[in-house]
Amino acid sequence: MIVFSDLSALFCDIRHEVKDLFDRMDQAYETAAAGYGFVCSGCADNCCLTRFYHHTLIEFCYLHSGFADLAPERQASIRDEAAAVTAAVAKDEALGRMPHAMCPLNTGGRCVLYAYRPMICRLHGIPHTFVHPIQGKIFGPGCHEFDNRCGTAGGHPLDRTLFYREMARIEQRFRQRAGVTEKIKKTVAQMLAAAGERLS
């Protein structure tokens, strides 16, 4: 069992590294998106409705470090919403349906913890590549909205390779220091429902 309170002090030591990495991801995304002339806004098929799983302890801790600064009442209401979303997603999955529940951090179209959002929330939407250690170079397309608006536009896919590698390096180092070996596979709703309690 992984207890978050055991990790928060340890995470303070590497928090700046995660922030720096995420800042560089945001900049690279902006540059690549601008190259296609793509602006992510006003989309009906909001990606905050997509069930994404997150797999790193450092994303969990970073999200929680922002969550911890919210007022207690706000935390309580978000955690209630996170529990409801988690239950709705589990029900859809049990029925074999694709979950379509809004992330509990999306309020009025805005992310309450935008500065602390996980990696995929930062990188989703535009074409990308990465070099897989075994499969070689892999290409990933943009989202539907990107195709609608910029599918024929010229531009350069965002290369995620260095970001993935650096993320893996920080994660590995943090896990070694924390003595954590358990795998993580959680939605944002599950991470928030677990905040302050246990991770697995």
Residues 6+ apart with CB under 8 A from 147: 141
Beta-sheet pairing, 136-140 with 158-159: unpaired
Size of interface with ligand SF4, in residues (CB under 6 A): 8
Which residue, 170 or 192, has its beta carbon nearer to ligand SF4?
192
Q: Which of 75, 77, 106, 129 touches ligand SF4 (CB under 6 A)?
A: 106
**Alpha-carbon gap, residue 117 to 119, rounded angstroms:** 7
Q: Which of 78, 103, 123, 143 touches ligand SF4 (CB under 6 A)?
A: 103
Nearest residue to 120 via CA among 191, 71, 183, 173:
191
**Alpha-carbon gap, residue 195 to 174, rounded angstroms:** 18
What number of helices (H) and strands (E) belong to the chain? 8, 5
Q: Which of 117, 128, 160, 186 touches ligand SF4 (CB under 6 A)?
A: 117
Is residue 121 a contact residue for ligand SF4 (CB under 6 A)?
Answer: yes
Which residue, 10 or 99, has its beta carbon nearer to ligand SF4?
99
Which residue, 16 or 110, has its beta carbon nearer to ligand SF4?
110
Q: What angle do CA 50, 55, 111 make, to 5 degrees?
A: 45
140-199: which residues touch ligand SF4 (CB under 6 A)? Answer: 188
Q: Which of 105, 119, 170, 192 touches ligand SF4 (CB under 6 A)?
A: 105
Contacts to ligand SF4 by CB under 6 A: 48, 103, 105-106, 111, 117, 121, 188
